[in-house]
């Protein structure tokens, strides 16, 4: 388990906010892409890349690195942003998102960007990939200390392939596999409770023989502790259900499913005109919008 001081937590919160700004700048420059999920997952990705993952941005093919598999590939702006900020490629390259010939495609492509572990696009496949990778590692190297982290979304849980992978992961007791579910309650067509209700979600995962925790996906200390506990489970794979706020950090965008697949400039105009959405979003983030965590830590 990684120990975080109060100063560490504050630094990670500020870094996550900086990375959210990069996400908005990327989306505005591209004129397309997803807003809600990337902003909601910024705290988790920042913690993973700056504290948890064993990785080397200067040697992205380092054999002993942990593996991060992004199943819901449409939230790749947050993956690209955190990779750039941690040193995989220049931050300036983020502004090439979705442009012709860019390495930063609309869904991650393994063959074009070192540091991407799997190509993703078709929803539901990432957990299967992660299960296969974790199982292969155990077979090939029984004493391996690598961890496989798979990020998935709650809307993606509508895909049957996810549950087939859960069955196999539970059967094989893949203790080297940690799945983090972005439980933000939205998907492209509406709220998950209306499109395809998921509850009782925790009990479903437990019935597939997974260890399950639930956390506030914006409380960096809680996320860090949950990952530490998951790493200490040796008899089964682990799932962390992270309750997040879609479009976190921009209060006029938050919790609205219509921001799932729209960038600033193309989003709903209930609160902000399209012509002003980019400027408002960046101002909210640059002034911290009152949302930087101010918890009293023990």
Tokens of 232: 């200490």
Please report whether residue 183 resides in a domain. Answer: yes
Integer-rounded Cα radius of gyration of the chain: 18
Domain extent for 159: 6-290
Please report whether residue 218 resides in a domain. Answer: yes
Please report whether residue 123 resides in a domain. Answer: yes
Please check the confidence at residue 222 and state whether its pLDDT lies above 70: yes
Q: How many CA atoms lie within 13 A of 99 on its CB side?
A: 11
Strands (DSSP E) contained in 154-297 are 177-183, 186-187, 190-191, 211-216, 238-243
Please report whether residue 96 resides in a domain. Answer: yes
Please report whether residue 297 resides in a domain. Answer: no
Q: In this predicted structure, what is the pLDDT of residue 2?
A: 79
What's the average model confidence in pLDDT over 69-77? 97
Where residue 55 falls among pLDDT bands split at 50, 70, 90?
A: very high
pTM: 0.95
Q: In this predicted structure, what is the pLDDT of residue 297?
A: 27
Please report whether residue 211 resides in a domain. Answer: yes
Residues of the chain above pLDDT 90, percent: 94
Please report whether residue 296 resides in a domain. Answer: no
CA distances from 57 to 50, 113, 132 (A): 11, 12, 24
Mean pLDDT in the chain?
95
Q: In this predicted structure, what is the pLDDT of residue 294?
A: 38
- Specify the CATH number for the domain of residue 177: 3.40.50.970
Report how far residue 90's alpha carbon sits from residue 84's, in angstroms, rounded to the nearest whole number: 6
Please check the confidence at residue 272 and state whether its pLDDT lies above 80: yes
Report how far residue 277's alpha carbon sits from residue 271's, in angstroms, rounded to the nearest whole number: 9
Please report whether residue 1 resides in a domain. Answer: no
Please check the confidence at residue 290 and state whether its pLDDT lies above 70: no
Q: In this predicted structure, what is the pLDDT of residue 28?
A: 98
Please check the confidence at residue 295 and state whether its pLDDT lies above 60: no
Please check the confidence at residue 293 and state whether its pLDDT lies above 70: no
pLDDT digits 0-9 by tens, 121-163: 889 999 999 999 999 999 999 999 999 999 999 999 999 999 9
pLDDT digits 0-9 by tens, 75-124: 999 999 999 999 999 999 999 999 999 999 999 999 999 999 999 988 99
Whose tokens are 């059967």? That residue is 171
Q: How many domains does the chain have?
A: 1
């Amino acid at each position: 388990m990684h120990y975080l001081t109060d100063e560490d937590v504050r630094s990670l919160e500020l870094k996550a906010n900086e990375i959210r700004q990069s996400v908005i700048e990327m989306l505005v420059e591209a004129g397309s892409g997803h807003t809600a999920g990337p902003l909601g997952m910024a705290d988790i990705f920042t913690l993973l890349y700056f504290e948890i993952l064993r990785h080397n941005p200067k040697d992205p093919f380092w054999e002993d690195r942990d593996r991060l598999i992004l199943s819901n590939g449409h939230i790749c702006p947050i993956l690209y942003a955190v990779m750039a900020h941690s040193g995989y490629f220049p931050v300036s390259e983020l502004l090439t998102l979705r442009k012709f010939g860019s390495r930063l495609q609309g869904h991650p492509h393994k063959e074009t960007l070192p540091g991407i572990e799997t190509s993703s696009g078709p929803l539901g496949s990432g957990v299967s990939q992660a299960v296969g990778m974790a199982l292969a590692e155990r077979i090939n190297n029984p004493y391996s200390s690598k961890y496989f982290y798979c990020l998935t979304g709650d809307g993606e849980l509508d895909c049957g392939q996810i549950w087939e992978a859960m069955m196999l992961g539970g059967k094989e007791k893949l203790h080297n596999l940690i799945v983090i579910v972005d439980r933000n309650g939205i998907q492209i067509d509406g709220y998950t409770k209306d499109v395809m209700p998921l509850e009782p979600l925790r009990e479903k995962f437990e019935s597939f023989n997974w260890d399950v925790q639930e956390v506030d996906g914006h409380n960096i200390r809680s996320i860090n502790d949950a990952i530490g506990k998951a790493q200490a489970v040796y008899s089964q794979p682990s799932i962390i259900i992270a309750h997040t706020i879609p479009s976190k950090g921009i209060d006029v965008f938050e919790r609205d499913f219509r921001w799932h697949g729209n960038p600033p400039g193309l989003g709903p105009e209930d609160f902000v005109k399209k012509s002003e959405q980019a400027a408002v979003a960046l101002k909210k983030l640059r002034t911290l919008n009152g949302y930087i965590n101010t918890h009293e830590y023990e």
